[in-house]
């Protein structure tokens, strides 16, 4: 709620899993998260976590079952986007 409006880029890499995201904030609300890159092995189902983050307006949401590591990497990329900038 204290994030200034804007577009933020974040990424997170753990060698075998990598995510890069673009987070859009309007009226101090996350209105969009675009997954720019996702190296995921078998973790593609984790990409649905983006909808959970937007819906709950927080990063601390449940991981996608069967894609826990990719879920964590995507959440960390979003966190890095909105905390680094």
Report the candidate in 33, 31, 28 with the shortest Cα–Cα distance to residue 79.
33
- Residue 84 pLDDT more than 60? no
Cα–Cα distance, 15 to 7 (Å, whole number): 26
Instruction: Please report the pLDDT score of residue 8 as a whole number.
Output: 97
Instruction: Please report the pLDDT score of residue 1 as a whole number.
Output: 62
Cα–Cα distance, 6 to 29 (Å, whole number): 10
CB 21 within 8 A of CB 36: yes
Could you report the per-residue pLDDT of 23-65, keeping only the tens digit for each? 999 999 999 999 999 998 888 999 999 999 999 999 999 999 9
Helix, strand, coil percent content, the chain, rounded in steps of 5: 35, 35, 30
Cα–Cα distance, 53 to 72 (Å, whole number): 12
């Amino acid at each position: 709620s204290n994030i200034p409006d804007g577009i933020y880029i974040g990424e997170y890499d753990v060698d075998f899993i990598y995510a890069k995201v673009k987070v859009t904030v309007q009226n101090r609300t996350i209105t969009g998260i675009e997954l720019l890159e996702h190296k995921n092995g078998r973790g593609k189902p984790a990409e649905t976590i983006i909808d959970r983050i937007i819906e709950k307006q927080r990063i601390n949401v449940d991981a996608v079952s069967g894609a826990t590591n990719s879920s964590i990497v995507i959440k960390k990329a979003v966190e890095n986007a909105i905390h680094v900038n």
